A = this chain, B = another copy of it.
């Protein structure tokens, strides 16, 4: 950490800071500048919050030098983490495609979509059963009934299941049914939930919060990793900005930035990051061109009757077209799509 003193800070204020540094088992290095003094605090500073220096008299600001996250950092683990799911791997050369409806609405709907997306080239099936909705007055998901349909869809298609978990109380039932626990944007900093998931050994798809920085996303993953669950995928799903032409702003920069900072797989959700089915294919291609390891895409057999997110859902036909386009881009950047399950 670098502690920057105010111009005109007194010698005793500097001495006080040095004292504080040493109390925290760090070493102090002092640089006398023309206008200001800077004090470096060197040592094992991961567990020392910078706030404790910011409040000392005469301190202007404190800059953390080393990254506050550890287990997810590429610095400590230079090789990509590659997790195998049923029939394919995420984080290596292959691009994985997760697809399915926003919400599981009925057995028929789910099984129909599951087969359609498998045929079109999906590797895993997504479907929400507990839905975080802005309004308490609209459809909130089928709950455990939906999980049974998902299990049946896995049986039928051979595809692993991805579903969102919203509360600690759902961990047991979710772990029983699903292959990948999705943590939604609204829960990215629900630390109790992250810790509980860290205790499981089920794969996790951790979505970036609407206004979370890349560093905060990495810190959130640290809560899971530090519980011993290393199977964490990160997911960019659009951030909130001033632009209203699209539902969110896809932070495409986050793809190469995350790939340089962490060894964890990084995927992108163009359905939420654009909010409009007309733009999903363009952004899916962009994500793969930028280096993403996978995609998660909303598909509905009847978007105009979807109970949620219909506007951003693709029809199975458009999804199949998207897969063909993404395949060409993947090959242009020397990657390939993960293999699709054959008929069982």
Binding site for B on A (CB under 8 A): 2, 4, 7, 20, 29, 31-36, 38, 40, 42-44, 46-47, 49, 51-52, 54-57, 63, 65-66, 68-70, 75, 132-139, 166-169, 186-187, 189-193, 195, 210-211, 213-216, 219, 222-223, 226, 239-246, 249-257, 260, 273-274, 277-279, 282-283, 285-291, 303-306, 308-311, 313, 325, 328-329, 331-333
Contacts and interface: CB of A to CB of B under 8 A. Distances in A.
7 contacts: A2-B38, A55-B277, A166-B191, A252-B283, A256-B274, A256-B283, A289-B290
Contacts of A46: 137
B226 A136 contact: yes
Nearest to A303: B55
A300 to B, nearest CB: 9
A150 B273 CA distance: 41
The winner among A42, A133, A289, A304 for most chain B CB atoms within 10 A is A289
Contact of A47 (B32, B138, B166, B306): B138
B38 A65 contact: yes
Copy number in the complex reads 4
Contacts of A249: 239, 241, 249, 251, 253
A310 B243 contact: no
